[in-house]
Chains A and B, each alone.
Chain A
């Protein structure tokens, strides 16, 4: 392949890395040079996206059955283990390549407007560029360790960007929480990696997946352990039960960061991992059921919390967790293409929603800034009636809302419907999947409800921002609305990627991904519902979505809403949801506080201060001093005593010699 455009795939991650180096240097040397930073930051992403398009087009032209692996240099040659720094191009990484570079380019452009007045502008773009580099390493890596480098790298960048405004403690704490919770999941990934090497003798994707069917017996304890440990990594990175708690807190970062890292790309890494390891998961029915079950449960659980949040970004955060749950329900049901399809459409509409929310917050923040008010610019109770002030944002966010709710013919409808259909079809063989399907359906109802609620509270009814502030509310500049517009088009048309045959489509994405998923499909065939039932399922899904929309429209009373500072406290079930089921408090009581107590009282006060410092360090000093004291007592200064000792010594030595 030398000479072909495919060989230059290394440039795609290298460009953002170069952007990071240049922007990092500017951040250190000339933080004020915003024009250069913008040109570099957005330029490298635009170039990377263009190159990615060219690469994927060439890949589509050849459509090779086996993944194309490019080895660059030997990285870990240790005994029988040989890991190269190698990138892999196949249909799956091609899709991820386009999603990551495309959405990143749009969000970088948006950030030019959103972060314009921030003193940390250069640092922001440097870190965002670095994130894209690691994300591309993650999706392009041809082996588990290379992927793990990207996996850890995006975690690092996530931490840096959540705590971007680190001079406020709440932001720094949110960053730490994300990092620490992710470490728990990463531990699972690492152990799974070691187990894979132990049983297959390799860590390269192609080798592992080729040897897996012979190295493991299906349903074996080993393969179940491996896949469950991998899934533990996914629950951390992709915010699933039980490790989802970091994602809502991650909203402390700048809004474009939430859109890029915590909605469109990084959090989908777990779904990508499961799809990548489809062969392994297909070998373990238990793990597949766990993946689907956790996904369905998370989808519903997070959606119910989203019903009662007031912070516009928190609603979207729980919505993201819920939608990630759908993706896991899809890949857990064996419908890997459906999961990746939802990943793609979700990247479109959730990025649109977050960036729209960013526009709203931008406008609110500027209005409050102009009047020196300290009201919360993210609380929906302070918004209302923004339609008149932000017409573009409002219209585009409505498109995304209908898409996420699952209203045809927008993109979210097709992807969500495919996942639910796959889960239902699996139910014929294993009834547990009917339960998962039911959970998903109820979650869809909640999704439609909370998204309509968000839109109504934000854009409709009377404005509650304040009389002085109202005149200051303006639509964002074109660098921010432009990306919104592009995402709006993608959200509307994204369904074309994978139209089901029932609706006259060719399931293009599914066929495109076949080289990746066929290994798993041979082990555990993908089921799809009978055409008659499929039509019925689509009808049910649409009815549920509309019920949620209309229900929210009818049930919510916009007139009764008052600004946040006047709002009465929640009661009953509403309070339970508003407090997020007290899960954070539960974790704090069961895990955080015992660990902190253990660290402070046992490890610090007892082990470190008493044992290491007291017994070890100071103890050694005390023993030497005592010995020194004994020795110094013999130095009496009296010559007679010295002579006596000397004579006694001579007598002893001579006595010993004579004997």
Chain B
């Protein structure tokens, strides 16, 4: 029941997330794209749970919990970087290199 369209939307969302991470420079936008990818994966889990059992739906809760924790830590890091460098452009945050 709507498995194909659900997976299609999920794939589109995931690709958008990847493209955003690869192409954007702003840390907050990249962070949002990562969230987008996580939610794309959640959608896949929900869609497949209909045929493969309830485990997929339970995993979605775990993912949401981890995503919330990640958002807390990630936003704190972004805030700390901004205080130090006064920018969120990742091309200029490149001190750690060989």
Interface residues of A (CB under 8 A from B): 631-640, 643-644, 647
Contact = CB atoms under 8 A, between A and B. Distances in A.
B94 A636 contact: yes
Contacts, number: 31
Nearest to B27: A639
B10 to A, nearest CB: 16
A632 B97 CA distance: 8
Given A638-B97, A639-B30, 20 more contacts: A631-B98, A632-B98, A633-B98, A634-B98, A635-B97, A635-B98, A636-B94, A636-B98, A637-B94, A639-B93, A639-B94, A640-B22, A640-B25, A640-B90, A640-B91, A643-B21, A643-B22, A644-B22, A647-B18, A647-B22
A638 B90 contact: yes
A79 to B, nearest CB: 59
Nearest to B90: A639
Q: How large is the interface on B (under 10, 10 to 19, 20 to 34, 35 or more residues)?
A: 10 to 19
B95 A637 contact: yes
Contacts of A647: 18, 22
A643 B21 CA distance: 8
Contacts of B97: 635-638
A637 B95 CA distance: 6
Interface in B28-83: 30
B96 interface: yes
Nearest to B18: A647
Nearest to B21: A643
Nearest to B25: A640
28 contacts: A632-B98, A633-B98, A634-B98, A635-B96, A635-B97, A635-B98, A636-B94, A636-B97, A636-B98, A637-B94, A637-B95, A637-B96, A637-B97, A638-B90, A638-B91, A638-B94, A638-B97, A639-B30, A639-B93, A639-B94, A640-B22, A640-B25, A640-B90, A640-B91, A643-B21, A643-B22, A644-B22, A647-B22
Interface string B4-31: 0000000000000010011001000010
Of the candidates A633, A635, A640, A644, the one having the most CB atoms from chain B within 10 angstroms of its own CB is: A640
A632 B98 CA distance: 5
A636 B97 CA distance: 5
Contacts of A639: 30, 90, 93-94
Contacts of A631: 98
Contacts of B91: 638, 640
Contacts of B90: 638-640
B42 to A, nearest CB: 19
Contacts of A636: 94, 97-98
A631 B98 CA distance: 8
